[in-house]
A and B are shown apart, each in its own frame.
Chain A
């Protein structure tokens, strides 16, 4: 399974945009890029996923590099509630495995 590399931690100010980077240089053509986040004392929750094109949903945006070797999760206006560990995960589609393999993620701190 292809690996991802994320910074261990990041800081942001409340109501400012946050860009969380992820490198995945060994990504294969059938790997989707998934983002989950884990709030304190909670299980992880799905944020967004994409394959090649940029994606938007009510929680965040996902910007994928043209060569797909990196991506960025964008929180448009960080709130205190967005303080969490963010996991960037590659998930192989059209496979009977398709399992999610979590790394250590990026711990996002949001300052008021």
Chain B
């Protein structure tokens, strides 16, 4: 089975502060994980995926197999980063049910 958990429902920081949104996974096989973001009144969209190893809008996420984590980080938060963030596994079919994390609401104060 594959499952991701996001322990924080809400993360509140000030502009310019570092941000780390936590995601832990339990996985059988080779993990493939995503971060999706939902800004206010916009649709859910991909932020980044671990296999691409990109930095999007200043965010990075490294897969740590030892800690089974895929935390999302940004060194200096901006007000426009305020959104709902979801950690997600892939769709892989069979008896596995792809379970998104419950989401973390990030609020960046001016």
Q: Do A and B come from one complex?
A: no
B residues within 8 Å of A by Cβ? none
Residues of A within 8 A of B (CB): none
